[in-house]
Amino acid sequence: MSERLLTLEEVCAKLGGVKPWTIRCWVSQRRIPYTKVGRLTRFPEGRINEWIESRTVSPAPVS
């Protein structure tokens, strides 16, 4: 089974309300994983989840 491709709106919602123009800017700067389907820009769900995970900051140890 192939991976689900998210729309721009779905990625915005997944990222907690990030504006569409921000995602478009990240795409133009190649800061977020995406794929082109014809003229459409789509976001592989698994790659987006990995991208989010790679930017998660762990809490500092308590002394």
User: 27-40, pLDDT tens digit by residue?
Assistant: 999 999 999 999 99
What gap in Å lies between CA 7 and CA 35, rounded to an integer? 11
- E strand spans, the chain: 5-6, 35-37, 40-44
Angle at 32 between CA 21 and CA 55, to 5 degrees: 110
Per-residue confidence band for 2, with pLDDT thresholds at 50, 70 and 90: confident
* pTM for the whole structure: 0.85
4 has a pLDDT exceeding 80: yes
What gap in Å lies between CA 19 and CA 10, rounded to an integer? 11
Q: Kindly report, residue by residue over 37-63, the tens digit of the pLDDT.
A: 999 999 999 999 999 999 999 899 987
**Tokens for 45?**
């769900």
1 has a pLDDT exceeding 60: no
